[in-house]
Chain A
Amino acid sequence: MLNNFLEFLSYDFVIRALIAGSLIAACAAVLGVILILKRYALIGHGLSEIAFASCSAANALALPPLLFAAPIVILAAFLILFVSIKRRIGGDIAIAAVSSFALALGVIITALSSGFNSSVYAYMFGSILALDNQDVMLSALLSVFIILNFIIFFNRIFIMTYNEDYAKSLGLNVNFYQALISLMTALVILTGMRIMGALLISSLIIFPAMTARKLASSFKAIILISALIALISFFAGIFISFNYNLPAGASIVIANAGLFMLIIILKNLKELIN
């Protein structure tokens, strides 16, 4: 089993998948901590469905999907985060409404044009093994951008996430950091969709942060643990997917969910013993 896996690792397309996938998984996990603490866990889901609709439209119009979808998804991220904050509309309601509409729109566009072909299927469920060098470059650039932002603005992002009013009282430009988080979320969704698919990408945002929250009591620790958990689940998922010949995206989600449940069980056992 392991020998086969090692042989599997010798293919270029596998290496590309592992590099791009692990970078995106780690970035999504770090952003996920902010999003779940601000109660915007569903935003990833909403944006991915908007991205799916845009990609289907691009497909129908024979335009480059990512270039076409990028401005739409970024705009949607700004709108969802700013509108729900300024107007105090429940983020969950706004996201649920917009995302189901977008998904329906994507399905209609697809049905009217080419029908469900392989590229539409790939946007829905991902195609990690079909990544090219350009995808790897894109995810590398994106992770550098996100990690640099997190290092430079760590303290401010922390204060902003903790309490926006308090951040304002310190003279921080809350709108700027809000916009930065929206932009990073949109970019992670766009790049991650190629790997995980529109229907599963939000799990990369939610699961690791949720698991890390059970393990850490400081903000710095939860961010680092979240990234680590994302990496462990990603490689475990790929391993499962290879060994049992299962779809990669779904296997990564299952690994994430499994790890979460394992941590919950271990924590409860520990409390029982104590």
Chain B
Amino acid sequence: MSLLSVKNLSLEYINNIISFELERGELIFITGANGSGKSTLLRGILGLAKILSGEIIINKDLKLAYVPQAEAERTEFNFPASIREIVLMGRQRPYKLFYNFQDKQAASYAMARFKINNINNNLSKLSGGQVRRVLLARAFCSEPDLLLLDEPCAGLDAQGREIFYDYLNDLRLNLKTGILMVTHDEQQDLILKPDKVIKLC
């Protein structure tokens, strides 16, 4: 059975009827012009956007991680939370109340890999690119089965992109994470070599 199967899906703000399957270890790009509904598609899969017709089949027990556009959490940037607390959120599961040693280790590993320092700082003290690293670390530290990324490289510098590509390939090869990624960047086709590209219009 595939990791995620989308059949004849129709969502608000999207003109296309969408169907695709995502297998373990696969990477699918979602491209399209501004306003074509790329983010809405991800939100639909997460149950955050209204489904008009069609279906999304996804195993409830899968570990799912989501990196929203930074703008989606901009209002939260003044939130009194430390970077450490934000990244640890990624380790939350529906039946988990407390974080254990493993969770803390996984979060530390992801923060170190993304070269995030001052982990006790407030999120509001970071630049846009640094916030992006924090949001990526939060998703990656969860060791997900299914990863949904919304323009993950926006605001990242060259070093950040390098780390991101490397880490993403790790998840894909070693954990067989299935990845759905919204992107505008043609170059990423060459670097990440997606299995499929879905173009919305």
Chain A residues within 8 Å of B122, by CB: 217-218
Determine the residue in chain A with the shortest Cβ distance to B96.
A155
Chain B residues within 8 Å of A152, by CB: 97
Chain B 35-78: CB-based contact to A (< 8 A → 1; otherwise 0): 00000000100111000000000000000101010001100100
Given A218-B120, A222-B80, verify A166-B66 contact (CB < 8 Å): yes
**Chain B interface extent, by class:** 20 to 34
Determine the residue in chain A with the shortest Cβ distance to B92.
A170
Task: Judge whether B85 and A220 touch: CB under 8 Å.
Answer: yes
Task: Judge whether A168 and B47 touch: CB under 8 Å.
Answer: yes
Chain A residues within 8 Å of B94, by CB: 170-173
Chain B residues within 8 Å of A156, by CB: 92, 97
Chain A CB within 8 A of B2 CB: no
Task: Judge whether B97 and A168 touch: CB under 8 Å.
Answer: no
Chain A 1-44: CB-based contact to B (< 8 A → 1; otherwise 0): 00000000000000000000000000000000000010000000
Chain A 208-247: CB-based contact to B (< 8 A → 1; otherwise 0): 0000010011111110000000000000000000000000
Task: Judge whether A169 and B89 touch: CB under 8 Å.
Answer: no
Chain B 114-140: CB-based contact to A (< 8 A → 1; otherwise 0): 000000111000000000000000000
Chain A CB within 8 A of B79 CB: yes
Give the residue of B85, B93, B97 whose beta carbon is less than 8 angstroms from that of A219: B85
Docked complex: B4-56 residues within 8 A CB-CB of A: 43, 46-48
Q: Write the nearest CB–CB distance from A222 to chain B, whole angstroms.
A: 5
Task: Judge whether B80 and A163 touch: CB under 8 Å.
Answer: no
Among B64, B68, B79, B93, find the residue whose CB has the most chain A CB atoms closer than 10 A: B79
A37 to B79, CA, bound (A): 7
Chain A CB within 8 A of B165 CB: no
Q: Write the nearest CB–CB distance from B190 to chain A, whole angstroms.
A: 30
Give the residue of A163, A168, A172, A219 whose beta carbon is less than 8 angstroms from that of B73: A163
Main secondary structure on A side of the interface with B: helix
Task: Judge whether B46 and A169 touch: CB under 8 Å.
Answer: yes
Chain B CB within 8 A of A153 CB: yes
State the interface size on chain A (CB cutoff 8 A): 25
Chain B CB within 8 A of A162 CB: yes
A171 to B94, CA, bound (A): 6
Chain B residues within 8 Å of A165, by CB: 43, 46, 48, 68, 72
Give the residue of B43, B64, B80, B88 whose beta carbon is less than 8 angstroms from that of A171: B64
Chain A residues within 8 Å of B86, by CB: 162
Chain B CB within 8 A of A81 CB: no
Chain A CB within 8 A of B109 CB: no
Give the residue of A37, A158, A169, A173 whose beta carbon is less than 8 angstroms from that of B85: A158
Task: Judge whether B92 and A162 touch: CB under 8 Å.
Answer: no
Give the residue of B66, B89, B120 whose beta carbon is less than 8 angstroms from that of A162: B89
Chain B CB within 8 A of A159 CB: yes
Given A153-B97, A170-B94, verify A162-B64 contact (CB < 8 Å): no
Chain B 88-104: CB-based contact to A (< 8 A → 1; otherwise 0): 11001110011100000
Chain A residues within 8 Å of B89, by CB: 155, 158-159, 162, 166, 170
Chain A residues within 8 Å of B99, by CB: 155
Task: Judge whether A218 and B73 touch: CB under 8 Å.
Answer: no
Chain B residues within 8 Å of A169, by CB: 46, 48, 64, 66
Chain A residues within 8 Å of B46, by CB: 165, 168-169
Chain B residues within 8 Å of A220, by CB: 85
Q: Write the nearest CB–CB distance from A34 to chain B, whole angstroms.
A: 12
Chain B residues within 8 Å of A222, by CB: 80
A162 to B124, CA, bound (A): 13
Chain A CB within 8 A of B112 CB: no
Chain A CB within 8 A of B82 CB: yes
Task: Judge whether A217 and B82 touch: CB under 8 Å.
Answer: yes
Task: Judge whether A218 and B82 touch: CB under 8 Å.
Answer: yes
A209 to B142, CA, bound (A): 31
Task: Judge whether B85 and A218 touch: CB under 8 Å.
Answer: yes
Chain A 137-158: CB-based contact to B (< 8 A → 1; otherwise 0): 0000000000000001101101
Task: Give the interface of B toward A (CB within 8 A).
Answer: 43, 46-48, 64, 66, 68, 72-73, 76, 79-82, 84-86, 88-89, 92-94, 97-99, 120-122
Task: Give the interface of A toward B (CB within 8 A).
Answer: 37, 152-153, 155-156, 158-159, 162-163, 165-166, 168-173, 213, 216-222
What are the 10 tightest A-B residue pairs by CB atom distance, in nearest-first order? A217-B122, A218-B82, A169-B66, A171-B94, A169-B46, A219-B81, A222-B80, A170-B92, A159-B89, A165-B48
